[in-house]
Structure 1
Amino acid sequence: MQTLNISALKKNLRTEIMERRKKLTEDYCQAADEKIAHHIIALEEYQSSKTLFCFVSTEDEVNTYPIIRHALSVGKRVCVPKCISKGFMQAFEISGTDCLEKGSYGIMEPNENCPMIISADIDFCIVPCMSCNTKGQRLGYGGGYYDRFLSNTVFPSAVVCREKLTCEDIPTLDQDVRISIVITEAGIWRIK
């Protein structure tokens, strides 16, 4: 019963966040995304990482293309997610954004020539969300891809979210992975 109630609360919150997203101006999104990218690039975890795992943003998400390009320009290995089956994804290395093609759900994914990277080789991960809070709880899109991917990993992860889409009360289940770093344009929160 508890799981059904939480699932319903998550669904309702996703609807609310989608409504909030529609009201964000292009100027706000661009300014927020630039500050978020700046925060990421300044992070010790990013600076010291040799292999970065980063989601490839959609039109509605925090723009990760500048982060991906920066990482490649300073010689980091960059890997991005690819859906391999329902609810499961793996990391594949890209040498540039030209290695991306439209994949599952219309999301840009690495093409077939990109090599798979095992999670043990990843040093730092940037995670998407619809919303999150300063406790490291995130509201994803409902597929559980990131929770499954992150469930047995040891590398630090940061979730990125525009401040106007954050929500202090995020319903969670036991399998929902808490993220250790939360980044909005307003700042950086580290979760102990």
Structure 2
Amino acid sequence: MDKASLRRSLLKIRQTLSKTEWQEKSDRICTHLQSSPIFKEAKTVLAYFSFRQEPDLKPLFADTSHLWGFPRCVGKSLSWHLWQAGDRLETNKFGILEPVANAPILAASEVDLILVPSVACDVRGYRLGYGAGYYDRLLKLPEWSNKLTIGIVFEFTYLVEIPIDEWDRSLTGVCTETGLKLINNY
């Protein structure tokens, strides 16, 4: 199955999760992250605001032992902005919440861990995204290429293998509601 067909199929299945099941699975993902050394040791964590029933990481954001960064879509790139609970957000052209444009920008050198939104991940650490290439372009930049990255997916989208292209990069690990699986570079 090609990437576009696989993406459509998995997003359709994800949309069938009841709100209760979605929240329970999301909460378990958060619990696994919070108990992992890779997360505990990180000072600055990049995350995302859940969109279209992606796993919801909101319970993590109250943890003030971490600095939190969230993306803004700027052209075909992502800029990362510092955010604290209570800071203003706005909705971008895709319908995704993001920090306001004048929020402080985070440099790659300040970042310890990136929680990567994904449609699916495979056991090799490859990620199926939404097709726009924002994270692919980011993670191939030299200043971002060695960051610890964890794909965040529900277990039913943690697959044996997904199709990959030459620009795809393997993540450090994948976290689902059944646990954190570390794969590369850790």
Identical columns (%) = 28
Aligned equivalents of 2:109, 2:93: Cα separation in 1 = 25
The equivalent position to 1:107 in structure 2, one of 79, 96, 101, is: 96
More helix by share: 1
Q: What residue in structure 1 maps to residue 177 of structure 2?
A: 185
Does the 8 Å contact 1:90/1:149 carry over to 2?
no
Tell me, in whole angstroms, the C-alpha distance in 2 between the residues paired with 1:164 and 1:150.
Answer: 25
Equivalent of 2:71 in 81, 86, 91 = 81
Query: Could you say if the C-alpha distance between residues 58 and 134 of structure 1 is closer, same or farther in structure 2, counting changes exceeding 3 Å?
Result: same
* Structure 1 unaligned residues grouped into runs of 5+: 1-7
Count of residue pairs the alignment pairs up: 181
**Which of 80, 84, 100 is matched with 1:91 structurally?**
80
Q: Is residue 30–residue 60 contact of structure 2 (8 Å, CA) maintained in 1?
A: yes
Q: Which runs of 5+ in 2 are unaligned?
A: none
Which of 44, 68, 78 is the equivalent residue of 2:37?
44
Q: State the distance in 1 between where 2:175 and 2:5 align.
A: 24
2:167 partner SS: coil
What is the aligned partner in structure 2 of residue 5 from structure 1? Answer: none
Offset of 1:97 from its aligned partner? 4.7
More off after superposition, 123-132 vs 166-175 = 166-175
Once the two structures are superposed, the pairs formed by residues 1-192 of structure 1 within 5 Å of their partners are 9-70=2-63, 73-74=64-65, 76-86=66-76, 88-151=77-140, 152=142, 153=144, 154-192=146-184
Secondary structure, counterpart of 1:98 in structure 2:
coil
**Once superposed, which parts of structure 1, at least 4 consecutive aligned residues long, lie more than 3 Å away?**
none
SS at match of 1:101: strand
Aligned AA for 1:52? V
Structure 1 residue 179, shift from structure 2 partner? 0.6
> What is the DSSP-based 3-state SS (H/G/I as helix, E as strand, rest coil) of the residue aligned with 2:2?
helix
Task: State the one-letter code of the partner of 2:117.
Answer: P
Q: Distance in 2 between matches of 1:191 and 1:19?
A: 27
1:49 is displaced (CA, Å) by 1.3
Coordinate RMSD, CA, aligned: 1.5
TM-score normalised according to structure 1 size: 0.88
